[in-house]
Every structure is written in C-alpha cells, then in structure tokens.
C-alpha cells in the first residue's frame, strides 16, 4: 500500500478548517403526488367497505357514497400540497377536518425536502382526481365521518403546519409498477407511504437503483391499515 506523504495530513487538516464542499446551486425538482394509484384506490375501497359494514351492523346507514368518500380523500391530499407550495387552500392545517389515521401519516411526509450534498430541493406537485371546491360540502362529509369514532374509525384532525417534508419519502419513485429509491437507507415504511400517492420525480436528476417492492404487493399490505379498531 502506498504510504501517505508525511506532510499531506497537516495540509488536509488545514484545508478542512478553511474550505468546505457545498453545492454550486440548489435545483428545484417537482415530485409528482398522484391520487390515481392502485394502492390509494385499494385503501379507499377497503376503508369505505369496513366503515359501511360497521355502521350497518349497528343498524345505521353510512349515508356517504364511495365516489363522495373518494373525492373527500383526494381533496385532503390536494389541500396539503397546495399548502406546501403556497396555493389557495380549501381549509387550513389547524381546522378540525377528519383525516383517516393512515392518510395522516402519509400527509406528514409531503413537503419541501432539501439535501445539501445533492444540491436539490424536492417540491410536491399534485396530479390527481376530482376534488371538492365548495368548503361547505366538504365539511359536511367531515362532520359525518367525525361521529364514526365510536365504531373504531381512527382519525387525526387537520394536518401539520410545517411545510417541510421527508427526504426519504420524497425520493421514492414509482417506476413501472415498482417502488425505487436512490439509496437503501430509507425505512421500508416510506415505500408503502409513497406508493399510496405514486410519488416520482427524483429520477429526473438522480438514479433510483434500489428496489423496495411492487405496487401490487404494497397494495395488498395497505388493506390491513384500513381495518377499524374494535
């Protein structure tokens, strides 16, 4: 093994104190947040069916059709993205809007995510389905869902006021039905959370070489997260 020049270490120590490596600039990269995914559709259908069945067993009628329920979920997701990027929002983060527990976990990861070493800032960009534009109609659904706590429906209220997102979440990429990432460091939970919204976009600047699993497999896992607590 070639020996280090005896003077090089001193030079290295000196330079480390006076020179630091940093990106020449930060590139903004739009990351797609989509509601048109197999995983989200599976979650919505499963949760809707479980709620409807639980209400029926209590002798009641849910009173919300699946299309309205789907539209409600889409609206929550779009509103979080709108809040992060500074668009007009349908409701604020502190308003007591019902957000299903698993969806609340997903929302908390959506946001601006910057990585100093890579010199990139990831910004969410909503691409999705039909949403509510009338707040009164939207809140009517939220209030109907609020009374379901007694049948085991778990939910949070509103969303985080922070506009920061998770870099591990925002760097996942759903490509050809498979969730990938630029490294193997992120916990597998971020693969499931990101697959729910078909996150992708980092592949335009960095190569996602690590595979976390197929969209179909993750869709099968999300069913368990739509079960009501009893």
pLDDT of amino acid 8: 85
pLDDT of amino acid 210: 95
**Per the structure block, which two tokens stand in for 152?**
């085991």
This prediction's pTM: 0.89
Angstrom distance (rounded) from CA 211 to CA 148: 38
**How many helices (H) and strands (E) would you count in the chain?**
8, 8
pLDDT of amino acid 23: 62
pLDDT of amino acid 19: 74
User: 113-144: per-residue pLDDT in tens?
Assistant: 988 888 899 999 999 889 999 999 999 999 99
Select from 199, 186, 192, 180 the least CA-distant residue to 216: 192
Residue 99: which H helix or E strand, with range?
Answer: strand 98-100
Do the beta carbons of residue 214 and residue 178 sit within 8 Å?
A: yes
3-state SS, residue 60: coil
44-81 burial, b for 16+ CB within 10 Å, e for fewer? bebbbebbbebbeeeeeebebeeeebbbbbbbbbbbbb
Residue ranges for the chain with pLDDT beneath 50: none
CA angle 228, 52, 141 (to 5 degrees): 95
pLDDT of amino acid 9: 82
């Amino acid at each position: 093994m070639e020996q280090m020049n005896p003077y090089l270490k001193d030079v290295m120590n000196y330079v480390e104190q006076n020179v630091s490596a940093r990106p020449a600039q930060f590139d903004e990269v739009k990351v797609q947040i989509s509601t048109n995914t197999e995983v989200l559709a599976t979650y919505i259908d499963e949760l809707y069916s479980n709620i409807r069945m639980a209400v029926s067993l209590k002798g009641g009628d849910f009173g919300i059709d699946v299309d309205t329920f789907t539209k409600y979920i889409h609206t929550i997701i779009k509103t979080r993205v709108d809040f992060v990027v500074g668009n007009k929002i349908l409701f604020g983060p502190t308003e007591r809007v019902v957000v299903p527990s698993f969806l609340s976990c997903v929302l908390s990861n959506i946001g601006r995510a910057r990585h100093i070493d890579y010199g990139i800032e990831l910004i969410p960009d909503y691409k999705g389905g039909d949403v509510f534009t009338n707040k009164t109609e939207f809140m009517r659904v939220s209030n109907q869902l609020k009374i379901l706590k007694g049948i085991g429906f778990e939910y949070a209220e509103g969303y985080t006021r922070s506009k920061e997102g998770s870099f591990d979440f925002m760097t996942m990429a759903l490509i050809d039905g498979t969730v990938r990432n630029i490294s193997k460091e992120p916990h597998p939970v971020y693969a499931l959370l990101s697959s729910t919204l078909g996150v992708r976009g980092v592949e335009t600047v960095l190569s996602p070489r690590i595979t976390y699993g197929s969209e179909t497999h993750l869709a099968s896992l999300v069913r368990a997260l739509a079960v009501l607590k009893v």
